[in-house]
Structure 1
Amino acid sequence: MSLFRLLSRSLRCSSSNPVNPLIYSSSRSFAFSSAEEAAAERRRRKRRLRIEPPLHALRRDPAAPRPPRDPNAPRLPDSTSALVGPRLNLHNRVQSLIRSGDLDSASATARHAVFSSTRPTVFTCNAISAAMLRARRLEDAINLHTFFFVQSNLVPNVVSYNILINTFCDSGNVDEALKVYQHILASAPFSPSAVTYRHLTKGLVDSNRIGEAMDLLREMLNRGHGADSLVYNTLMAGFIDLGNMDKALELFDELRERCKVYDGVVHATFMEAYFKQGKDKEAMDSYQSLLDLKFKMSPVTCNVLLEVLLKHEKIKEAEKMFEHMLDSHTPPNFTGINTDTYNIMVNECFKKGRFLESIEVFHRTGVKPCMMDVGCYNNIIGKLCENGLVAEAEKLFDEMPGKSVIPNAATYGFLIDGCFEGGRIEDALNYFEKMVSGGDGASKVDVSFYNKMFERLVKVGSVSSAMEIFGKMAERGLKPNSISYELLIDGLCKEGDLDRARHLLEDMLKSGAAASSEFREKVLDAFAQAGRVEEVERLLGEKTSSFAPQAQQEYVEHLQNA
Structure 2
Amino acid sequence: MSLYRHVLRSLRRAGDPRPLVIARPFAFSSAEEAAAERRRRKRRLRIEPPLHALRRDPSAPRPPRDPNAPRLPDSTSALVGPRLNLHNRVQSLIRSGDLDSASATARHAVFSSVRPTVFTCNAVMASLLRSRRLDDVVALFTFFFNQSNIVPNVVSYNILINTHCDAGRVDTALDVYRHILDHAPFSPSPVTYRHLTKGLVDSDRIQDAMDLLREMLNRGHAADSLVYNTLMAAFIDSGNMDKALELFDELRERCLVYDGVVHATLMEGYWKRGMDKEAMESYQSLLDRQFKMSPATCNTLIETLLKHDKQAEANKLFEHMLDNHTPPSFVAINTDTYNLMVNQCFKEGKFLEAVEVFHRTGKKPCVMDVSCFNNIIGKLCENGLLSEAEKLFEEMPGKSVNPDALTYGFLVDTCFKERKVDDALRYFEKMVNTVDGAPKVDVGFYNKMFDGLVKAGSVGHALEIFGKMGEKALRPDSASYEILVRGLCKEGNLNRGRDLLEEMVRCRITVSPEFHRFLLDAFVKAGRGDEIERLFVGNAGNVPPQFQQ
Q: Does 1:354 align with 2:350?
A: yes
Report what 1:266 is aligned to: 262
Report what 1:217 is aligned to: 213
Q: Does 1:537 align with 2:521?
A: no
Q: Determine if contact 1:94/1:110 at 8 Å carries over to the other structure.
A: yes
Distance 1:454 1:43 in 2: 81
Deviation per CA, 1:413-440, whole angstroms, max 9, x where unpaired? 1111111111111110110111112246
Report what 2:73 is aligned to: 77
Q: Does 1:122 align with 2:118?
A: yes
**CA 1:456 to 1:40, structure 2 compared with 1: closer, same or farther past 3 Å?**
same
Distance 1:432 1:519 in 2: 27
Following superposition, the deviation at residue 456 of structure 1 comes to 1.6
What pairs up with 1:380-529 in 2 under 5 angstroms? 380-439=376-435, 441-529=437-525
Secondary structure, aligned partner of 1:262: coil
Distance 1:224 1:370 in 2: 38
Identity of aligned residues (%): 76
Secondary structure, aligned partner of 2:535: helix
Moved more, 243-252 or 533-542: 533-542
Q: Determine if contact 1:435/1:441 at 8 Å carries over to the other structure.
A: no
* One of 220, 226, 236 as aligned partner of 1:230: 226
Provide TM-score, normalisation by structure 2.
Answer: 0.90
* One of 327, 335, 338 as aligned partner of 2:334: 338
**CA 1:333 to 1:391, structure 2 compared with 1: closer, same or farther past 3 Å?**
same
1:234 aligned partner, one-letter code: T
1:403 aligned partner, one-letter code: K
Q: Determine if contact 1:434/1:440 at 8 Å carries over to the other structure.
A: no
Secondary structure, aligned partner of 2:94: helix
Secondary structure, aligned partner of 1:90: helix
Provide TM-score, normalisation by structure 1.
Answer: 0.88
Following superposition, the deviation at residue 42 of structure 1 comes to 4.8
Q: How much is the aligned-residue C-alpha RMSD, in angstroms?
A: 2.3
Following superposition, the deviation at residue 244 of structure 1 comes to 0.6
2:530 aligned partner, one-letter code: E
**CA 1:143 to 1:59, structure 2 compared with 1: closer, same or farther past 3 Å?**
closer
**CA 1:30 to 1:341, structure 2 compared with 1: closer, same or farther past 3 Å?**
closer
Following superposition, the deviation at residue 300 of structure 1 comes to 0.4
Q: Determine if contact 1:201/1:231 at 8 Å carries over to the other structure.
A: yes
Q: Determine if contact 1:122/1:156 at 8 Å carries over to the other structure.
A: yes
Report what 1:111 is aligned to: 107
Distance 2:45 2:387 in 1: 68
Following superposition, the deviation at residue 47 of structure 1 comes to 11
Distance 2:58 2:87 in 1: 38
Deviation per CA, 1:187-206, whole angstroms, max 9, x where unpaired? 11111000000000001011
Q: Determine if contact 1:485/1:504 at 8 Å carries over to the other structure.
A: yes
Secondary structure, aligned partner of 1:266: helix
* One of 266, 279, 304 as aligned partner of 2:300: 304
**CA 1:304 to 1:538, structure 2 compared with 1: closer, same or farther past 3 Å?**
same
Deviation per CA, 1:175-227, whole angstroms, max 9, x where unpaired? 11111111111111111000000000001011100000000000000000000
Report what 2:289 is aligned to: 293
Moved more, 534-543 or 72-81: 534-543
What pairs up with 1:30-69 in 2 under 5 angstroms? 34-35=30-31, 38=34, 42=38, 57=53, 60-69=56-65
Following superposition, the deviation at residue 62 of structure 1 comes to 2.1
2:285 aligned partner, one-letter code: S
Q: Determine if contact 1:434/1:442 at 8 Å carries over to the other structure.
A: no
Q: Determine if contact 1:384/1:393 at 8 Å carries over to the other structure.
A: yes
Moved more, 60-69 or 389-398: 60-69
2:103 aligned partner, one-letter code: S
Deviation per CA, 1:144-168, whole angstroms, max 9, x where unpaired? 1111111222111111111111111
2:458 aligned partner, one-letter code: S
What pairs up with 1:321-336 in 2 under 5 angstroms? 321-336=317-332
**CA 1:440 to 1:357, structure 2 compared with 1: closer, same or farther past 3 Å?**
farther
**CA 1:248 to 1:477, structure 2 compared with 1: closer, same or farther past 3 Å?**
same
Distance 2:167 2:55 in 1: 56
Report what 1:16 is aligned to: none
Distance 1:308 1:299 in 2: 14
Report what 1:552 is aligned to: none
Report what 1:202 is aligned to: 198
Q: Determine if contact 1:272/1:308 at 8 Å carries over to the other structure.
A: yes
Q: Does 1:155 align with 2:155?
A: no
Task: State which structure, 1 or 2, has the greater radius of gyration over its C-alpha atoms.
Answer: 1
Q: Does 1:373 align with 2:369?
A: yes
**CA 1:407 to 1:36, structure 2 compared with 1: closer, same or farther past 3 Å?**
same
**CA 1:227 to 1:499, structure 2 compared with 1: closer, same or farther past 3 Å?**
same
Runs of 4+ in 1 over 3 A off after TM superposition: 27-50, 52-60
**CA 1:270 to 1:59, structure 2 compared with 1: closer, same or farther past 3 Å?**
closer
Q: Does 1:364 align with 2:360?
A: yes
Following superposition, the deviation at residue 441 of structure 1 comes to 4.5
Following superposition, the deviation at residue 282 of structure 1 comes to 0.7
Distance 2:333 2:447 in 1: 39
Distance 1:542 1:439 in 2: 44
1:368 aligned partner, one-letter code: K
* One of 239, 244, 249 as aligned partner of 1:248: 244
Count of residue correspondences: 517
Report what 1:185 is aligned to: 181
Deviation per CA, 1:236-255, whole angstroms, max 9, x where unpaired? 10011111111111111110
Q: Determine if contact 1:463/1:488 at 8 Å carries over to the other structure.
A: yes
* One of 121, 127, 131 as aligned partner of 2:127: 131
Following superposition, the deviation at residue 65 of structure 1 comes to 3.2
Following superposition, the deviation at residue 133 of structure 1 comes to 0.8
2:296 aligned partner, one-letter code: V
2:287 aligned partner, one-letter code: L
Distance 1:63 1:440 in 2: 56
Distance 2:243 2:159 in 1: 30
Secondary structure, aligned partner of 1:480: coil
Following superposition, the deviation at residue 275 of structure 1 comes to 1.4
Moved more, 61-70 or 265-274: 61-70
* One of 139, 146, 153 as aligned partner of 1:143: 139
Q: Which runs of 5+ in 1 are unaligned?
A: 1-26, 544-562
